[in-house]
Amino acid sequence: MDRRVVITGLGVVCPLGNDVNTFWNNLIQGVCGIDFIRNFPSDDLQVKVAGEVKNFDPAAYGIPAATARKADKFTLFAMAAANQAMKDAGATGVEPERLGVYIGSGIGGMQTFINEVVNLKENGPQWVSPLFIPNMIGNIASGNVAITHNARGVCLPIVTACATGTHSIGEAYRAIKHGYADVIIAGGAEAAHVPLSIGGFANSKALSRSEDPLAASLPFDARRQGFVIAEGAGIVVLEEYENALRRGAKIYAEVSGYGNTCDAYHYTAPRPDGSCAANAFKAALDQSGYCEDDVVHINAHGTGTPMNDKSETLAIKSAFGEEGARKVAICSTKSMTGHMLGAAGGVELVAAALAVDQGIVPPTIGLTEPDPECDLDYTPLKAKKLDITLALSSSLGFGGHNAVVALRKI
């Protein structure tokens, strides 16, 4: 059984806004959501900037006060974005057994973990919270969203580091395509913006040390020196096409392909030639029936790390051919949001769906000194109008995980 799958709902919480309209308007205007760290003192940190979620109020999304007090922030972000997406989709009356949740997190409840380690050290094991484990585990965002929406069908939280959100959406697409569900709430959530994570990433030389928020996240630019850590959640509602038609739902785009490969090369570094990432692009393109007449947009992984941007450029060239790659309108929205780790793919898929729906390619801000080895069209500085027929969102994660989801205009 092969069924068509479409996107009927969107939800986002991120440094550019806590609702879809604010996020999209800021994105296409080239607003930078990166700023100096304000959530905790940064005097002892090597890194001074981040992509923090601002003015987040769980109550605004119907999250009960008791849940808001107890749950880790990554779960609250997921619930807020999922509630937005389900409201947007208007997907009421779905049989609970045909409604699923695929929401992953690359790291899970990091702040919960830190709090209880401190509690253990200062007060002893008898004072560790009984909610420590259920609030920390990476699957709990999916669990809470399933409870909220009475989703009793397939539920598969995925953990593939920075590819988590994209893999979650890709696997949800397959589940609906092959008849295991009719509607799935899918994406990623992350709230690992804490001193412990920053220390680890900074000491591994992965983070930008820039103290200028506007020049910290510089994908594809010769001056790039690492990614900017960020937090948030991006959720889409995927639905079987005929079901969406019957109820007159708004359709943003059709999910037309999904590629999933592994570099099998190094636990953090990408394969330098981009060949395995290229295979993920090729799989998504083949399933989408890509042809030379397609007007293609890619929301690239584009982290601003020296190795990633070069290898991803090579992957795109391999997938499209040198001439075809130069026709693709690429962007990295991480230039504005920073890198939301396991949430990045979900937020970027929301951006890709809106790009298809609105016919606008968001910009890569800060790209004023292109790297000669990154020589494709990355939509520098300003958004552009484009009648996109096919969009792809790519994510590459520690462990060599590569994920690409393709969307077609419908």
User: Which residues have C-beta within 8 Å of that of residue 265, sequence separation ≥ 6?
Assistant: 271, 276, 400
pLDDT at 91: 86
Does 48 score more than 70 pLDDT?
yes
Does 272 score more than 70 pLDDT?
yes
Q: Angle between the 164-177 and 344-358 helix axes, to the nearest 10 degrees? A: 60
What does the pLDDT look like over 20-45, one tens digit per residue?
Answer: 999 999 999 999 999 999 999 999 99
Task: Report, as an integer, the average pLDDT of 256-260.
Answer: 98
Q: Alpha-carbon distance 395 to 162, whole Å?
A: 7
Does 59 score more than 90 pLDDT?
yes
| Residue recorded with tokens 């109550």 | 59
Q: Alpha-carbon distance 136 to 140, whole Å?
A: 8
Task: Report, as an integer, the average pLDDT of 207-229.
Answer: 97
| Residue recorded with tokens 């949430």 | 343
Number of separate helices (H) and strands (E) present in the chain: 14, 13
Domains of the chain, first to last: 5-246 (3.40.47.10), 257-408 (3.40.47.10)
Q: Give the gyration radius of the chain's Cα atoms.
A: 20
| Single-letter amino acid, residue 358 | Q
Pairing of strands 99-104, 329-331: unpaired
Helix (H, G, I), strand (E, B) or coil at 253: strand
- Judged by phi (left if over 0) then psi (alpha if -120 to 50, else beta), residue 121 lies in alpha
> What separation in angstroms does the CA of 258 have from each of 29, 213, 232?
29, 34, 23
pLDDT at 362: 98
What does the pLDDT look like over 318-360, one tens digit per residue?
Answer: 999 999 999 999 999 999 999 999 999 999 999 999 999 999 9
**pLDDT category of residue 93 using cuts at 50, 70 and 90:** confident
The secondary structure element, H or E, covering residue 271 is none
Q: Considering the chain, what is the average pLDDT of its residues? A: 97
| DSSP labels, 24-57 | HHHHHTT----EE--SS--TT-S--EEB---S--
Task: Report, as an integer, the average pLDDT of 65-85.
Answer: 98
Task: Report, as an integer, the average pLDDT of 235-244.
Answer: 98
Write out the catalytic residue numbers: 162, 301, 339
pLDDT at 1: 67
Task: Report, as an integer, the average pLDDT of 86-96.
Answer: 94
pLDDT more than 90, % of the chain: 99
The tokens describing 257, both together, are 């392909």
Report which of 390, 394, 333 is spatially closest to residue 363, judged by C-alpha positions. Answer: 333
Report which of 392, 372, 385, 193 is spatially closest to residue 284, judged by C-alpha positions. Answer: 392
What does the pLDDT look like over 155-185, one tens digit per residue?
Answer: 999 999 999 999 999 999 999 999 999 999 9
Contact (CB, 8 A) for 407 and 353: yes
Does 92 score more than 90 pLDDT?
no
Contact (CB, 8 A) for 181 and 243: no
pLDDT at 100: 98
What does the pLDDT look like over 356-392, one tens digit per residue?
Answer: 999 999 999 999 999 999 999 999 999 999 999 999 9
Task: Report, as an integer, the average pLDDT of 117-139.
Answer: 97
Instruction: Give the angle subtended at the CA of 397 by the CAs of 111 and 192, to the nearest 5°.
Output: 10
DSSP, res 9: E
